[in-house]
Amino acid sequence: MKSVLSATSSKAPLLRRPARQLSRLHRWLGTGFCLLFALWFGTGFVMMYVPFPSLGEGERVAASAPVALAAVNVAPATAARGLPGLPVSRLRLVDVLGRPRYLATLDDGRVLGVDADDGGTPAPLDAADAKRLAERFAGHPAQAVGGPFDYDQWVVHHRFDAARPFYKIELGDAAGTELYVSAGLGQVLQRTTRFERGWNWVGAVAHWMYPTVLRKNSWAWDQTVWWLALGGIVVAAAGYGVGLVRLLNQRRAGRAGISAFRGWLRWHHVLGLTGGLFALTWVFSGWLSMDHGRLFSLDQANADRAARFRGAGLATAMADLTPETLRTMGTAREIEFLAVGGRPFVVQRGAAGAAYRLIPLAAGKPQPPLNQLPDALLMQAVAAAWAPTPVRDIAAIAADDAYGHTRSDALPASARRVRLDDAASTWVHVDTRSGQIVSQMDDSRRLYRWLFNGLHSFDFPLLRGSGPLRQTLMLAALAAGLALSVSALVLAARRLGRSRR
């Protein structure tokens, strides 16, 4: 398409040569990226309403069977010491088809099992056992069993690595529910429905470039998405820059209107001026979702700090707790043994008569339950983990806190914020009920919160309680981006057709 500007202006066009080079860059890179942009914007509509399938920890524990404490003959310290040379960061006691089992999470992410009745190493579940476990979990008969397999579209994330391989259990219910049972851990760790699976193929799977064949290799997936998003930034920035220069030259030529072009090129120019800035900030913030420590700090404490926060190894902390004492503490659906600041605690989840119970130990004996870990103890533990940096204070996190309750990653209501007195103004978020460091946040991470959460999902304080307003703005921005991408697709198809001729 040629410009309708034919009259000679008294003012020469601005940046003629750089604009021509930018236009050429945008034209040819955009030909390759326009389909990808259309995919990203189109799938964004679906992701606003249908998230990726997941089975929450609370749901998993609530549906699990109570631990058969009467069958426990192995003390938790014995189970932890049975893994020599392997630092244990978490130790839980669960039920697997009527038998109690310790699950020890190591610092490197692996999870190893120890039978709590005889101290042996558990054998992987077979298909029949996986079917029985899923039926107990769901309270519904199973229709079919698949596996074992390592990877599937709905357990492809690396957080499932320690639990592979899996069995997939089809329940055959009206919702088309499928459960994923870890053969090694003996736990149900994922649940999907027909509705979720169907919409996620045109939602998160396409949006995140998440097909199993790519995503199962974390490095390949990370590099692919990172570089494609970076290329998208170049395309969007070049296009927006060219569009602005064209608009300014239109004004300098004394012509009315926004664009000097006709047809689809005019639509692309106008849509780029109105929706191009969102396309640029959106692809930039999407690129930041793949940062993983490249430019900004990480939000997780390293294993060394987590160990200093505990203040004692779990085998040492639980040295005096015997199976006989454990049985007197009452049953639960999951029992976790933890140490904070060198002090031992037992956490019962799904306990009889209470959804949660935190029990301190003294010389291996249970003490009166607590509602949460004391603030003074948390400050002491954080001070030891981040030494020699001093701790400034500790405070609860307000429900409308912009840093603690982002739309994509809200802290638990039981979390506390411990502020450090360092140059980066570091915050450490600790869960007062689980005794775990949830996240850490310094100046770099707070900036990341606005550049990623803010720009990518309009997660700003003014829109937090607006409800329909935020949704309307998101839908309008997505529609503008999709329209811009469709106009680019039409132009690219025509350009490629001319090139072939």
Is 158 a member of any domain?
no
Q: What is the pLDDT of residue 377?
A: 97
User: 364 and 307 in one domain?
Assistant: yes
Instruction: Tell me the backbone φ, ψ of residue 402, rounded to 5 degrees.
Output: -70, -25
Placement of tokens 């602005």 in the chain: 244
d(CA 215, CA 222): 8
d(CA 444, CA 299): 10
Domain range for 437 is: 377-441
- Answer with the one of 391, 424, 441 that is the final residue of a domain: 441
User: 313 and 278 in one domain?
Assistant: no
Q: What is the pLDDT of residue 7?
A: 43
Low-confidence ranges of the chain (pLDDT < 70): 1-19, 353, 501
User: 318 and 270 in one domain?
Assistant: no
Peptide bond into 388 cis (omega under 30): yes
d(CA 143, CA 376): 52
User: 286 and 220 in one domain?
Assistant: yes
How is residue 213 written in tokens? Answer: 């064949």
Give the mean pLDDT of the chain.
Answer: 91
Judge whether 422 and 413 are in contact, CB under 8 Å: no
CB neighbours (10 Å) of residue 316? Answer: 15
User: 395 and 421 in one domain?
Assistant: yes
- Answer with the one of 371, 404, 422 that is the final residue of a domain: 371
Q: What is the pLDDT of residue 84?
A: 74
Distances (CA, A) of 336 to 67, 321, 357, 452: 12, 13, 11, 34
Q: What is the pLDDT of residue 473?
A: 92
Is 109 a member of any domain?
yes
How is residue 41 written in tokens? Answer: 């914007």
Judge whether 111 and 155 are in contact, CB under 8 Å: no
Q: What is the pLDDT of residue 386?
A: 97
Is 491 a member of any domain?
yes
Q: Catalogue the E-assigned strands of 140-299.
A: 144-149, 166-170, 178-182, 188-192
Q: What is the pLDDT of residue 25?
A: 81
User: 354 and 402 in one domain?
Assistant: no
Residue type, 383: A
How is residue 146 written in tokens? Answer: 């698949």
To 10 degrees, what angle do helices 263-288 and 218-252 make?
A: 140
d(CA 223, CA 468): 36
> How does pLDDT run across 60-111, given as a tens digit for each residue?
999 999 999 999 999 999 999 888 777 899 999 999 999 999 999 998 889 9
Q: What is the pLDDT of residue 493?
A: 85
Is 108 a member of any domain?
yes
User: 302 and 363 in one domain?
Assistant: yes
Identify which of 115, 120, 108, 112 has the alpha carbon closest to the alpha carbon of residue 83. 112
Is 37 a member of any domain?
yes
Peptide bond into 148 cis (omega under 30): yes
d(CA 319, CA 342): 12
- Answer with the one of 334, 352, 371 that is the final residue of a domain: 371
d(CA 390, CA 383): 6
User: 69 and 26 in one domain?
Assistant: no
How is residue 444 written in tokens? Answer: 């770099």
Is 8 a member of any domain?
no
How is residue 356 written in tokens? Answer: 């949660």
CA atoms within 13 A on the CB side of 293: 5
What domain count does the chain have?
3
Q: What is the pLDDT of residue 475?
A: 94
